[in-house]
Amino acid sequence: MISKKYSSMLNNTSIIREFAQYASKRAAEIGAENVFNYTIGNPSVPTTDDFNKGLIDLIQNEDSLTLHGYSPTLTIYSVRKAVADSLNRRFGMEYVPEDIFMTSGAAGALAHAIRCVTEPGDEVITFAPYFPEYVPYVDGTGAVLKVVPADITSFQINFDAFLEMMNPNVQAILINSPNNPSGIVYSTETITHLAQILTEKQEEYGHDIYLISDEPYREIVFEGTDSPFISKFYDNTICCYSFSKSLSLPGERIGYVAVNPKCKDAELIINMCGQVSRFTGHNCPSSLIQLGVAKVLDETSDLSIYEKNKNILYKELTAMGYECVEPGGTFYMFPKTPIADANEFCNMTAHELDLILVPGDSFMCPGHMRLAYCTTTDMVERSLPLFEKAIKMCK
């Protein structure tokens, strides 16, 4: 019989997707150049030449059975070593290959990390605003996602609300910095305070609490932003990384779990990742893609357009009267909507101006809207008069 769990999910349509589909429909009707589509967080710059050249080199010169053969259960050792070395070089860490497990992007990394450190029924705490896919990601593990309300003045952590929600059933804290949708980067002060609380709570509850750090936007940080390497601050940190944004490879599904070498169970957790894979049908990312990224670990695509677009939008929108916390990274910003009902505002701009924004309700933060400005600068500039019209229509 058809599974009730998965068939019922088909009725829960995603609001992000609805707005994105409306943008596509309008593009077909009036031409893509007349639609101002800020809905989807898809990288807009190509991957690096070095990455593509590296793939071709592998295909032409590596033995077929080695290149396309099974990865070991714990993924390709030389790739794990290259990732550890790169993290050590860049962030002054002491990872060994045994701390690294290659995954199908950050989604795969989170699926493994959460399963390793929770039992069904345990609580995982995250902070609004947050990526809505965290709901199925955590639900799929059997754990329960609890959400700390946003601090909308800074989009740093609302520590008072967090402390109220902490209890001995909390086994993991899930954070995402630089953050989708706010674009905010957690400061050294925020991470230090969080680490201090978790250390105290571990002691108080008598069990480990893991900090699961979802970092696909780590490489997209703007000038002057304090951007600490999170694993440095707390031993029980599991970093979940993806190359989707840094190398513009979202379709290749490549990322990793890196367990802090100071975590006493680091190697055990990585070994368990190999067991989780058997349960989920994951069984390693593509071997070609694993070997391909290992050649370009210290590189990124040219990400400068994201900062350029942010600078224009932040300056112009705030001048028009929009209230917004300035993003420190990513390719998102998350202004307040001029009226309290973000759905009403976003429906209005979509239908009257072909300016397609996503209401903050999707990210558990009403009264805001997400702009994904991984678009051309031309589109950003041509959209400015529409933002001006929109705010005037609300007065």
Closer CB to a second copy, residue 58 or residue 152? 58
Strand pairing partners for 330?
none
Nearest approach in angstroms of CB 63 to a second copy is: 8
SS3 35: coil
Site for a second copy in 342-361 (CB under 8 A): none
Nearest approach in angstroms of CB 189 to a second copy is: 29
SS3 198: helix
Closer CB to a second copy, residue 184 or residue 259? 259
User: CB under 8 A: which stretch of 26-34, 38-46, 147-155, 302-310 binds a second copy?
Assistant: 38-46
How many angstroms separate the CA atoms of 166 and 146, rounded? 10
Closer CB to a second copy, residue 63 or residue 298? 63
Site for a second copy in 271-300 (CB under 8 A): 271-272, 275-276, 278-289
Closer CB to a second copy, residue 107 or residue 197? 107
How many angstroms separate the CA atoms of 176 and 167, rounded? 21
* 9, 28, 163, 340: which one binds a second copy (CB under 8 A): 9
Site for a second copy in 295-334 (CB under 8 A): none
Closer CB to a second copy, residue 252 or residue 354? 252
Closer CB to a second copy, residue 149 or residue 250? 250
Site for a second copy in 45-64 (CB under 8 A): 46-47, 52, 55-56, 59-60, 63-64
* Signed CA dihedral, 142, 147, 148, 153: sign only: positive
Closer CB to a second copy, residue 102 or residue 150? 102
Find, among 377, 355, 330, the residue nearest to 182 by Cα: 330
Q: Is the distance from CB of 356 to CB of 35 less than 8 angstroms?
A: yes
At a CB cut-off of 8 Å and minimum separation 6, what does 276 contact? 111, 112, 115, 116, 282
Is 282 buried (19+), middle (13-18) or exposed (0-12) by CB count in 10 A? middle
Nearest approach in angstroms of CB 176 to a second copy is: 15
Q: What angle do CA 104, 107, 110 make, to 5 degrees?
A: 105
Site for a second copy in 62-121 (CB under 8 A): 63-65, 67-71, 103-105, 107-112, 115-119
Closer CB to a second copy, residue 23 or residue 110? 110
Q: How many CA atoms lie within 13 A of 117 on its CB side?
A: 29
* 147, 198, 269, 364: which one binds a second copy (CB under 8 A): 269
DSSP state of 336: B
Site for a second copy in 240-259 (CB under 8 A): 248-254
Closer CB to a second copy, residue 331 or residue 387? 331
At a CB cut-off of 8 Å and minimum separation 6, what does 164 contact? none
In 32-150, where do the E strands start and end? 36-37, 100-103, 123-127, 144-148
Q: Is the distance from CB of 308 to CB of 377 less than 8 angstroms?
A: yes
Compute CA distances 348 → 343, 382, 390, whole Å.
8, 18, 8
Q: How many CA atoms lie within 13 A of 39 on its CB side?
A: 21
Closer CB to a second copy, residue 104 or residue 182? 104
Place of tokens 């990274």: 329
| x-marked contacts with a second copy along 185-204 as a string, rule CB under 8 A | --------------------
Q: Judged by CB under 8 A, does residue 394 bind a second copy? A: no
Query: With CB under 8 A, what is the number of residues at the site for a second copy?
Result: 76
At a CB cut-off of 8 Å and minimum separation 6, what does 55 contact? 288, 292
SS3 content of the chain, % helix, strand, coil (to 5): 45, 15, 40
Nearest approach in angstroms of CB 239 to a second copy is: 16
Nearest approach in angstroms of CB 97 to a second copy is: 18
Site for a second copy in 149-188 (CB under 8 A): 171
Q: Is the distance from CB of 84 to CB of 270 less than 8 angstroms?
A: no
Nearest approach in angstroms of CB 300 to a second copy is: 14
User: CB under 8 A: which stretch of 43-51, 146-154, 193-201, 380-388 binds a second copy?
Assistant: 43-51
At a CB cut-off of 8 Å and minimum separation 6, what does 161 contact? 148, 149
User: CB under 8 A: which stretch of 25-33, 41-49, 90-98, 213-221 binds a second copy?
Assistant: 41-49
Place of tokens 């030389």: 78
| x-marked contacts with a second copy along 15-34 as a string, rule CB under 8 A | --------------------
Closer CB to a second copy, residue 67 or residue 394? 67
